[in-house]
Structure 1
Amino acid sequence: MNVVVSDPILASISRTIATAADGINALAGCLEDNAALRRSFVDAIELVASKRGRVVVAGVGKSGHIGRKIAATLASTGTSAYFVHPTEASHGDLGMITAEDLLILLSWSGETVELGNVLTYAKRFNVPVISVTSNADSTIARNSTIPVVLPKVPEACPHGLAPTTSAMLQLAVGDALAIALLERRGFSAEDFKTFHPGGKLGSQLLLAHELAHSGEAVPLLPIGSPMSEAVIQMSSKGFGVVGVVGGDGELVGVITDGDLRRHMSQSLLLLTVETVMSHMPRVITPGMLASAAMEMMQSQKITVLFLVDDVGRPSGILHVHDLLRAGVA
């Protein structure tokens, strides 16, 4: 829906965004109503998943820029892919494409001349081709193994020339293919981390046990221990908390600074830990994402979490400062 504004700059921006949204909605509607398009998407996913080689993406101009992004998204989500420029392909880079590979060709018109040699090469060596065009009768669509034909939508450009809405639709298709393949393969957050070890994303994909303290650093005492030992543990280990373990080594409670304040009296140090501890402590598993641990700490207004195994035995301790130092926020 267009927003009515008087400023010509804002009116232009509003019109462009509305046109882009209309284009995406047209694609979604076409996918819902067009059985052939649905079949093309499913066949494309099955074809990519069945190939042993890599996905080679090619396109010219704005389609080329979109193609680079599609290849990068595929590669980062578990589908080996790279981009080949059609001009460079005609000057030797066709040798990078093998019979085990698969081609994705992007061309809104379906008549991009520079893709001709790539298409001929694919025919000669039986390399399957998935094309993304808006013209089912185009040369590229007709010579593709699987043509994905998108609805013809207006460009945001007032002259109908600059690829805008069309580029967005191509990008949406690439993202849709990548995510469908990710889900089909069961590509996990741990798998994602393998391809994204650096930067903010890498820190968000760290696991709790990778940042936690373990071994002698974990403040633990058995049931029956005097509170005098608990205070020493809380102070010497530096976490302001001590875990209490039962006879089988399971974590049965925790003592925090708050528990000390609530039980403050002259006889506090003579009490045993189970009379002061909080029961049913909040815990996490070693394989939990560090970002999820941070969210849990923030939502429950706590600064420390114990890591426990599948039978409840503590294996580590994680402090909010550990998460902040690693860039998890």
Structure 2
Amino acid sequence: MNTEAIILKTAARTVEIERQALEALQEQSLNQDFARCVEAVHVCKGRVVVTGIGKSAIVGQKIVATLNSTGTPALFMHAADAIHGDLGMILPDDFVLCLSKSGETPEIKVLVPLLKNLGNPIIGMVANLSSYLARHARFVLHTPVSQEADPNNLAPTASTTAQMALGDAMATSLLALRGFTPQDFAQFHPGGALGKQLYLRVSDLYPQNEKPQVAPDAPLHETILEITSKRLGATAVIGPDGLLAGIVTDGDLRRMLEKGSADLNQLAARDIMTAAPKTVLAEDMAVKALEKMRKNSITQLVVADAAGRYLGFIHLHDLIREGLI
């Protein structure tokens, strides 16, 4: 068998074994015990302290990150460090989630009695239901894994996949019980494109730009100078009543020159403007402005209030700069 065939066969076997582990998780573990555990965590006044050893500890750190980002206060405590002083981070109302495939690791067996003496409820996420951890936990989250995905059935692979999935299931169930909204999510994710999609508004961006505008009777050369000097590729046309009458873009100028039929010296802004241009409200989300630009294949939008008063421009470059694209 050549190298490529070995790689693909091994990879396919790995994915298949992990798929089977997730299927078993769905069929056997999402049950009344799981629901009772989530309900108890939902009403608890403390945090979820997640602990484990080895690869389970790494999965535990990811579960903590997911819980925190979805509204459930959580922190990670390494099982080995816990018995050397870190137990002090546990508060009376905290739940402790212990991750262990076997439920028999020495650190966990030392830690569990200490947790019970503190009186904190223990949640055991474990594959072996007859293990020490499973017997002493108040709640058991079962991760049924018949074999690991590596050829030697040794490296934590399918078991850690199951732990990760069950941790996600717990976090999202708690999210649903708390009625966690996109706005709540944005509070915990203020950085990066995801957070900005959820909280950044047009009003955060357009004041940074110039505010090009001309009157409807402004001659062509004045209109061109306004577009060029303000460097937004367009200018608003404002009527005598102070309301937005139209927009002239550099594309409008090109199309006007291509026609070549009019006397350029006689043209005014009203002759080449686009009336009733696409606009966006200052209080709209910036991502809404992006969607409107994409839908209409344009690079800028006029910002106006509900009465049609001109406020400024938001440009595609503003959205690129903020990482929304």
CA-CA distance at 1:272 after TM superposition: 5.9
Distance in structure 2 (CA, Å) of the matches to 1:306 and 1:103: 54
Which of 314, 321, 325 is the equivalent residue of 1:318?
314
CA-CA distance at 1:177 after TM superposition: 2.1
Q: What amino acid maps onto 2:136 in structure 1?
A: N
1:215–1:316 CA contact under 8 A, matched in 2? no
Distance in structure 1 (CA, Å) of the matches to 2:191 and 2:208: 28
Are 1:68 and 2:64 matched, yes or no?
no
- The structure number with the bigger radius of gyration is 2
TM-score, normalising length: structure 2: 0.80
| Root-mean-square deviation (Å) | 3.5
Q: State how many pairs are aligned.
A: 318
2:168 maps to: 175
1:111–1:138 CA contact under 8 A, matched in 2? yes
**For residues 76-95 of structure 1, what are the structure 2 equivalents within 5 Å?**
76-95=69-88
Distance in structure 2 (CA, Å) of the matches to 1:310 and 1:187: 31
SS of the residue 1:167 aligns to: helix
Distance in structure 1 (CA, Å) of the matches to 2:242 and 2:126: 63
Distance in structure 2 (CA, Å) of the matches to 1:190 and 1:109: 40
1:254–1:278 CA contact under 8 A, matched in 2? yes
SS of the residue 1:217 aligns to: coil
- Percent of pairs with identical residues: 39
2:157 maps to: 164
Which of 280, 283, 308 is the equivalent residue of 1:283?
280
Q: What amino acid maps onto 1:42 in structure 2?
A: A
Q: What amino acid maps onto 2:63 in structure 1?
A: I
**For residues 1-329 of structure 1, what are the structure 2 equivalents within 5 Å?**
7-30=5-28, 37-198=30-191, 207-209=200-202, 212-214=205-207, 217-220=210-213, 226=218, 228=220, 230-244=223-237, 253-263=246-256, 265-266=262-263, 270-271=267-268, 273=270, 276-279=273-276, 281-283=278-280, 286-290=283-287, 293-294=289-290, 296-308=292-304, 315-329=311-325
Which shifted more, 227-236 or 153-162?
Answer: 227-236
SS of the residue 2:130 aligns to: coil
- Unaligned runs of 5+ residues in structure 1 are 32-36
CA-CA distance at 1:18 after TM superposition: 1.8
Distance in structure 1 (CA, Å) of the matches to 2:173 and 2:217: 55
Which shifted more, 84-93 or 18-27?
Answer: 18-27
Q: Deviation per CA, 1:291-311: give whole Å up to 9, x if none.
A: x64455345322112345566
Change (3 A) 1:28 1:285: farther
CA-CA distance at 1:89 after TM superposition: 0.9
Distance in structure 2 (CA, Å) of the matches to 1:296 and 1:320: 11
Q: Deviation per CA, 1:60-98: give whole Å up to 9, x if none.
A: 121111111111222233322211111211111111101
1:34 maps to: none
SS of the residue 1:84 aligns to: strand
CA-CA distance at 1:279 after TM superposition: 2.5
2:234–2:249 CA contact under 8 A, matched in 1? yes
1:254–1:281 CA contact under 8 A, matched in 2? no
Change (3 A) 1:215 1:17: closer
Q: What amino acid maps onto 2:276 in structure 1?
A: H
1:226–1:269 CA contact under 8 A, matched in 2? no
Q: What amino acid maps onto 2:298 in structure 1?
A: I
CA-CA distance at 1:281 after TM superposition: 0.9
Q: What amino acid maps onto 1:9 in structure 2?
A: I
Distance in structure 1 (CA, Å) of the matches to 2:149 and 2:69: 30
Which shifted more, 135-144 or 159-168?
Answer: 135-144
Distance in structure 1 (CA, Å) of the matches to 2:276 and 2:157: 59
Distance in structure 1 (CA, Å) of the matches to 2:159 and 2:274: 62
Distance in structure 1 (CA, Å) of the matches to 2:147 and 2:306: 56
Q: What amino acid maps onto 2:263 in structure 1?
A: Q
Change (3 A) 1:280 1:39: farther
